[in-house]
Amino acid sequence: MQNVDLIIVGAGPVGLYAAFYAGMRGLSVAMIESAEVAGGQPQNLYPEKLIYDVAGLPVISGINLTQNLLEQVARVPHELFLGESVQKIEKVTDGFFVSTDKEKRSAKAVLLTTGAGLLTPRKLGLEHEEQFAKSGKISYFIRSLEEFRGKRVAVLGGGDSALDWSLMLENIAEKVHLIHRRTAFRAHEITVEQVSESSVEIYVPYTLSALTETGLLLTKVKSDEKVNLSVDKILVNYGFVTNHIDLIDEIELSRNGRVKTNREQQSNIEGLYAAGDASDYIGKVPLMSVGFGEAVTAINAMTKVLTLDHAIRKGHSSSLF
Ligand SMILES: Cc1cc2nc3c(=O)[nH]c(=O)nc-3n(C[C@H](O)[C@H](O)[C@H](O)COP(=O)(O)OP(=O)(O)OC[C@H]3O[C@@H](n4cnc5c(N)ncnc54)[C@H](O)[C@@H]3O)c2cc1C
């Protein structure tokens, strides 16, 4: 069993930045990440998408943001355990025990940067789906846009992700078909407008009836009209199911299963903090710039109450390195 001041659960963008900031303030810190690679959503769900709203970075891809964050955290001592899922956290007198599928560790404080928790893509629930997914015909997120070059692609879903991907694929794929079961999309007005002006072919309101040898069989809602769509690839954007967060007894969650936090990012359990998409409060905006700020708030708050064997470094970053 190892002892550190702070265990950070989840090495997405907010966890990585939190580890850097905690290290900079002189805390000993360990990060535990269930995936085999750090970086969370930008790394895994949209590595090539461009991000424009992180302060000081006019434009950056998901994958390069992860690289920058890894470079930043490398400046401070820290441990990063990849491929370990945190399964249970127990509150004890002077801190916490954190158990994963491989190890049990202890810490004075815990910061949850688990995003939405362990995510699994929502499936279609149709025959042959697993086979199609194994062969690469069905994807639930895009690792590389190149896989779609010159292909006929069906994008399923009606939210921001489905519409964003349709637009990004427009110039890469031979043809993009967007299929949604309702007439109206649940995406930003501007994106909906861009899609309607693009070459993306829209099928609304259609449901998916079967996966066929050549692609998809669609049925128009409240009608017998069928469409046989020949495609090479199917991109499913039906969202993700989360396992959040029965990680610790008596934790208070918000209605969408995130951790309720106060103004110092502390949960209802003393010493257990949350930041980034894992945290929720009135007025929460689930963006990375907000999550980075929440991590700073949480770490400054915990340094005031933790009993540490060593001095906490104070001051601005420029005076600390
Ligand atoms: C398509 C898309 C586009 C987006 N575009 C933007 C944008 O342009 N700008 C912006 O600011 N935001 C954007 N976002 C939102 C942004 O990605 C999230 O706000 C951000 O990823 C939250 O970071 P996080 O570190 O809190 O959580 P996440 O990125 O979700 O990372 C959480 C990490 O915790 C790990 N984890 C979870 N549970 C456990 C466990 N029990 N044990 C161990 N590890 C665990 C997960 O594996 C994951 O790596 C976008 C999101 C999507 C889906």
Q: Which CATH architecture group holds 3-119+240-320?
A: 3-Layer(bba) Sandwich (3.50)
**CA separation for the pair 40, 108 (Å, rounded):** 25
What CATH number was assigned to the domain covering residues 123-236? 3.50.50.60
**CA separation for the pair 202, 180 (Å, rounded):** 8
Of all protein residues, the one whose alpha carbon is nearest to atom 19 of ligand 1 is 287
Looking at residue 57, what is its pLDDT? 97
**CA separation for the pair 130, 228 (Å, rounded):** 21
Choice from 41, 60, 163 to test ligand 1 binding pocket (greatest atom count within 8 A of CB): 41
Fold: same for 3-119+240-320 and 123-236? yes
Could you list the mean pLDDT of each consecutive 10-residue stretch along the chain, which spans 321 residues? 88 98 95 95 91 96 98 97 94 94 95 84 90 93 90 96 95 97 94 97 96 95 94 92 72 86 97 96 96 98 81 74 74
Is there an atom of ligand 1 within 6 Å of 286 CB? yes
Q: What are phi and psi of 163, to 5 degrees?
A: -75, -40
Looking at residue 1, what is its pLDDT? 55
Are 293 and 264 a contacting pair, CB within 8 Å?
A: no
Omega before residue 77 within 30° of 0, cis:
no
Is there an atom of ligand 1 within 6 Å of 240 CB? no
Is there an atom of ligand 1 within 6 Å of 42 CB? yes
Q: 208 - beta bridge partners?
A: 218
Nearest to 156 by CA among 120, 117, 126: 126
161, burial (CB in 10 Å: exposed 0-12, middle 13-18, buried 19+)? buried
Q: 92 - beta bridge partners?
A: 95
The domain spans of the chain are 3-119+240-320, 123-236
**Distance between Cα 223 and ligand 1 center (Å):** 39
